[in-house]
């Protein structure tokens, strides 16, 4: 693949289902990390979102920017989608982007009725997480990427700390564009100093590619991160998890002989015991998988002969009933866990609950929704086959052009958000109550003697007071 897209977000808070992106940095590079394009997108805060004061103080977006940026959130999302589309295929990359930015991308498309929820890993696009590659680089060569110690005395892989340790300075951290440029600089060090690791990381950037690598290697190295260091596990693939589709592997430092005759209950306990006999590789999460030698040279494996490892692998390959028992046990554990979580999902939480395939009629309506004016959008609301998409259509019109909504729909949506945002309960989203509580705590503790920060906090406080006043009498 000839290009890489590095993206970074600053958001209203960290809750992906209910927060929003307020700034996006998108940088397009070639395969050698030379910059070709830069795009910085900012948008206004949606009228039905309360920002987290903690997040606001980190990224430093001003109240004026939240209220008066040139683009609305919907406009920014559509522009974001077009930039990625115009530069597909690419490695979609970032720093810790799999766990955070990617989930925001999918949900902002989902709630904006852009049917291409999985744009970042379809049509040839693949995921590359520079955090995973940085940890692998450090594991392979202690001196390649410098790290500083955290307060607990462990190597820190926070982007801001890596930049400080490696003399990288593209501006103030926690600005989306700056963080993109800093991520590229970290990636460039890895590319130049541990190029083999960089190339290996590119091999497993999709589920299919990771699966292919695993099947080609009887034993391979999986890196897991514990307390500031990467630990290498020599893995032999057994099967895909029956519910999650992740690769389930046997750790070859464990002799399977002692487990073959265990009954179901005993084996189930053994699976949960520590040290673990099974290692899970989340093949859809951009794992860095390496040849077996990386793990086999570590102290956990170096005293086990190649002949003994081959023997253990052969035992596992010749024990299909044992493998099926493990699969059955893991399936039961997963189903039990899912059955315990019976809380009703709100529409914003249903991106994965509805399955991967959309009704073609709804896809056509979504595309039409973006082509027509706001008044005509209203006429499309009840044509969606799924209630959640009707709801998102109503929300988009409420956020972007509320005057065209019939009064009954406007009042319904307005009351819904009034109940949410002014709730005094602990909620899944930021409320006025949780915002003011955190503001009071910060005023009385961390920023008690900092007039400059107190003034900034007062500005956010006034803005949220204004938001609250719009909903109090709904």
Residues 353-407: tens digit of each pLDDT: 877 789 999 999 999 999 999 999 999 999 999 999 999 999 999 999 999 999 9
294 in Cβ contact with 137 (< 8 Å): no
Mean pLDDT along residues 129-141: 97
pLDDT in tens, 188-200: 999 999 999 999 9
**Among 321, 319, 35, CA closest to 180:** 35
pLDDT of 342 > 70? The answer is no
Average pLDDT over the chain, rounded to an integer: 96
Share of the chain above pLDDT 90, in %: 93
316 in Cβ contact with 240 (< 8 Å): no
CA distances from 438 to 55, 319, 430, 442 (A): 11, 56, 11, 6
CA distances from 267 to 32, 253, 318, 334 (A): 48, 18, 18, 16
Q: What are phi and psi of 250, to 5 degrees?
A: -95, 130
Query: DSSP label at 43?
Result: B
223: Cα within 13 Å, side-chain hemisphere: 26
Query: DSSP label at 170?
Result: S
**Among 240, 217, 236, 248, CA closest to 301:** 236
In which band, very low, low, confident or very high, does the pLDDT at 54 lie, cut at 50, 70 and 90? very high
Model-wide pTM > 0.85 = yes
């Amino acid at each position: 693949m000839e290009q890489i897209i590095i993206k970074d977000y600053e958001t209203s808070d960290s809750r992906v289902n209910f927060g929003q992106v307020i700034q996006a940095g998108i940088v397009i590079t070639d395969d050698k990390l030379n910059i070709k394009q830069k795009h910085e997108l900012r948008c206004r805060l949606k009228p039905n979102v309360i920002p987290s004061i903690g997040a606001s103080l980190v990224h430093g977006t001003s109240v004026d920017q939240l209220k008066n940026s040139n683009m609305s959130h919907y406009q920014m999302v559509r522009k974001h989608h077009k930039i990625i589309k115009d530069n597909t295929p690419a490695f979609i990359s970032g720093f810790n982007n799999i766990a955070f930015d990617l989930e925001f991308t999918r949900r902002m498309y989902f709630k904006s009725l852009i049917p291409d929820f999985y744009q970042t890993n379809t049509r040839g696009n693949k995921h590359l997480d520079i955090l995973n590659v940085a940890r692998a680089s450090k594991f392979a060569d202690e001196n390649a990427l410098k790290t500083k110690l955290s307060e607990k005395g462990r190597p820190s892989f926070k982007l801001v700390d890596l930049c400080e340790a490696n003399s990288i300075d593209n501006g103030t951290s926690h600005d989306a564009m700056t963080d993109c440029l800093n991520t590229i600089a970290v990636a460039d060090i890895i590319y130049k100093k541990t190029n083999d690791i960089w190339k290996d990381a590119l091999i497993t950037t999709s589920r299919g590619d990771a699966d292919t690598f695993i099947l080609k290697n009887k034993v391979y190295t999986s890196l897991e991160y514990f307390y500031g260091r990467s630990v290498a596990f020599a893995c032999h693939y057994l099967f895909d998890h029956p519910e999650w589709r992740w690769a389930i592997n046997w750790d070859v430092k464990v002799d399977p002989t002692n487990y073959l005759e265990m009954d179901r209950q005993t084996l189930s306990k053994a699976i949960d015991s520590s040290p673990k006999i099974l290692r899970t590789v989340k093949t859809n999460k951009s794992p860095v998988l390496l040849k077996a030698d990386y793990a086999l040279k570590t102290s956990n494996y170096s005293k086990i002969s190649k002949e003994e490892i081959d023997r253990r692998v052969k035992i596992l390959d010749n024990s299909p009933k044992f493998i099926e028992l493990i699969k059955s046990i893991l399936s039961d554990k997963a189903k039990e866990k899912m059955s315990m979580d019976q809380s009703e999902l709100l529409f914003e939480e249903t991106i994965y609950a509805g399955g991967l395939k959309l009704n073609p009629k709804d896809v056509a309506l979504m595309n039409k929704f973006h082509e027509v004016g706001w008044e005509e959008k209203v006429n499309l609301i009840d044509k969606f086959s799924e209630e959640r998409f009707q709801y998102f259509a109503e929300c988009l019109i409420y956020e972007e052009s509320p005057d065209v909504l019939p009064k009954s729909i406007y009042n319904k949506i307005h009351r819904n958000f009034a109940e949410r945002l002014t709730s005094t309960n602990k909620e899944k989203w930021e409320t006025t109550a949780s915002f003011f509580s955190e503001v009071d705590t910060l005023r009385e503790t961390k920023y008690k003697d900092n007039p400059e920060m107190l003034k900034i906090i007062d500005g956010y406080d006034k803005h949220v007071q204004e938001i609250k006043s719009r909903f109090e009498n709904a």
